[in-house]
Amino acid sequence: NAGVTQTPKFQVLKTGQSMTLQCAQDMNHEYMSWYRQDPGMGLRLIHYSVGAGITDQGEVPNGYNVSRSTTEDFPLRLLSAAPSQTSVYFCASSLAGYSYNEQFFGPGTRLTVL
């Protein structure tokens, strides 16, 4: 199993550009989520999904869109990048979100918006 994979590892964007951060898992996990990590602020939940076709907002959803058309993939879209979105983005998955299940994290995508 590859676990949780994220692409790209690094990305530099100009303000106003759009892009999609890819996340995939091969563990047949129902629950997937996106976090951003900023210095001194820990991880903050952006969006999450409890299964294919179902998504919901987390703590900081503004400026980001998600969709979940398959169990395996959970892409995160930035429609018009802003410098405030400079961060490290982590995707995570687990068997289910409504009871204890270990969340498995991807290696992260480091995004810089100029």
Residue 57 to residues 8, 25, 40, 51, 100, Cα–Cα distance (Å)? 23, 20, 22, 14, 20
Q: What is the DSSP letter of 8?
A: -
Contact partners, residue 45, CB within 8 Å, separation at least 6: 33, 34, 35, 58, 59, 60
Find the shortest distance in angstroms from Cβ 65 to other proteins: 19
Find the shortest distance in angstroms from Cβ 10 to other proteins: 11
The helix/strand/coil state of 12 is: strand
Residue closer to other proteins by CB (options 27, 43) is 43
Residue closer to other proteins by CB (options 9, 15) is 9
Note the maximum CA span of the chain. 40
Residues that bind other proteins (CB under 8 A): 4, 31, 33, 35, 40-45, 48, 50, 56, 58-59, 90, 92, 97-100, 102-103, 105-108
Find the shortest distance in angstroms from Cβ 96 to other proteins: 9
Find the shortest distance in angstroms from Cβ 103 to other proteins: 6
